[in-house]
A and B are shown apart, each in its own frame.
Chain A
């Protein structure tokens, strides 16, 4: 705690940094009631500190988890051994919205499916870390700790002289390596749906950091199953790897949703032919489905023959009769998540419901058991944040980015998000949360 206080002093004035963030245009967008609003992502100056010892075990555990998830994705889109061997019931794979039959048989370069994984963790009061969810589609947020660190460095350079903080600027190099590992010959590109996207700031920032072209779909085309970029002079230049920041369903109107106006026709043909790398691989949604989460520790044992280093939050699947009984008996104490929702939507705490609502919800779970998972509410560690002139305690989580290139590497940084509402456990930026820098100590 004394260490924390010392950091607070060192980092100084939140207003100054938030002012800098505003000037840099660090924003994210939210759709509410059909209109688009850009908001500043409020920054809190007290960093979260992760000790070297904690980080080392987290690093091993996360690399292990992501390696198993990559094996799982390869297996599901090829032989499906894990289903055949009865580890995961078939239903959980094929009812999942994230499973895309169109991706069957495609082998991405070097077998990497989840190039950039955003794994969300929380630390319980007893110090134990728990995995909350895996984000293997297009996890966002890496730019925030990067830019916050830059600005903190400007506002409080002495903090970095006095403390053994691992420099997080290596992300650019790490991301570049990860892209190059699956480059099929050509330029690197980041595909954005445009400036009305929630994470547009991040798209442009990452393009700048990695020397990638920032493109929208109408600048790209596929000819002879090769992806090209229209150059300003009327020519074409080849794209070898595409870090796309649009969802699978919109990626190629000739393979997925025909009505998509933000996709690239025949991109999937180019991808299937091995002429372009797509980051992350289409179809990854089957592995970060909230229903599949339950099975990740089993995957680690199955594919790697290892014991999971990091724990899942205790989870129940109403799909299994025994779990259903438990969920029904303890509904008022559990947190229930709709497997089809993301971004903090579809999360219900049993204790917040009135008697009638609880009963109604009970019936919904009985009617659609596959749609929900139930978890014990982890009493996670509060972190101090500055509110006005006071320091208050709020719930926070941590998104760690794991990059799978030739090797799986865990970025020694991360996005710590906190809830500004003292009664809330939901920290998602789309639910009005804030963020702070995450310092990983080197000793």
Chain B
């Protein structure tokens, strides 16, 4: 058990005015069996009225709409949580057993799976660790070659990627192996931005594994959102109107 302070901020700056801007943020961490949120405050600037809902995957959604012209949108969360990974989460959904948009394997990924499946034996945990180990030797961690639209098959073809890509490839392989797996977006001590990792279903509960760091998940991780893949977990999704507008996004996060 550990008490953790978390902080996360995004600044969106537009180089011209935008209006009729709708957004959905998945930024308020989940209250779960393994993490108890002690405090959490969300600040959005400019001031705008927002509404909270919980989506199909259990995520906290903050929805807002700004009709008037504006050139920036900042949001940040700050809070603390009690994390205890000796406790187990059991919120299973059958859809996690099936490939989703980002994890659908192509021929190359299927061939790769076929080449490793013989040695992939034992419990779900053994298999997940085994695949994670192989991945860390097959795919190189590196920024700049992939982005948020990169799928598992694309990152696997490049043999290079960031945490999001590692997660998608691992989920794809686990699902091929018949193990339900979900994508986690959150904060971790090892990262200056947001992090992503994977939870697999052991048969009666979820267990976390961090493929980008090839390690298991401990009390240094805070879950913000979860879903079938990145698409269900994007921290911010927005639609706005304006002239040709470039968007600059600055992200900062901290766990202490």
Contact = CB atoms under 8 A, between A and B. Distances in A.
B98 A95 contact: yes
B51 interface: yes
B134 interface: no
Contacts of B24: 254-255, 265-266, 269
A375 to B, nearest CB: 27
Task: Please indicate which of the listed interface residues A99, A105, A266, A273 has the most CB atoms of chain B within 10 Å of its own CB.
Answer: A266
Interface string A150-187: 00000000000000000000000000000000000000
Interface string A52-85: 0000000000000000000000000000100100
A253 B49 CA distance: 20
A344 B75 CA distance: 49
Contact of B56 (A95, A105, A254): A105
A104 B51 contact: no
Interface string B182-222: 00000000000000000000000000000000000000000
Interface string B50-72: 01010111000101010100000
Contacts of A225: 51, 53, 63
Number of contact residues on B: which range applies?
20 to 34
Contact of B20 (A83, A90, A104, A221): A221
A192 B106 CA distance: 36
A254 B23 contact: yes
B95 interface: yes
A258 B57 CA distance: 18
Contact of B63 (A94, A101, A266): A266
Contacts of B238: 254, 265
A272 B51 CA distance: 12
Contact of A224 (B49, B55, B97, B237): B49
A258 B63 contact: no
A358 interface: no
B230 to A, nearest CB: 11
Interface string A250-262: 0001110010000
A212 to B, nearest CB: 23
Contacts of A224: 49, 51, 65
Given A94-B94, A101-B95, A265 B239 contact: yes
Interface residues of A, number: 27
B93 interface: yes
B168 interface: no
A222 B64 CA distance: 8
A276 B18 CA distance: 27
B239 A253 contact: yes
Contacts of B49: 223-224
B94 A80 contact: yes
Contacts of B61: 269
Contact of B51 (A105, A106, A273): A273
A221 B239 CA distance: 11
A377 interface: no
Given A253-B237, A269-B51, A272-B55, 17 more contacts: A83-B94, A101-B57, A102-B55, A104-B56, A106-B56, A221-B20, A221-B65, A222-B22, A223-B49, A224-B51, A254-B22, A254-B63, A254-B238, A254-B239, A258-B237, A266-B65, A272-B53
The 8 A-B residue pairs with the shortest CB-CB distance, nearest first, are: A265-B22, A104-B56, A225-B51, A101-B95, A254-B24, A265-B239, A223-B65, A269-B63
Interface of B: 20, 22-24, 49, 51, 53, 55-57, 61, 63, 65, 67, 93-95, 97-98, 228, 232, 237-239
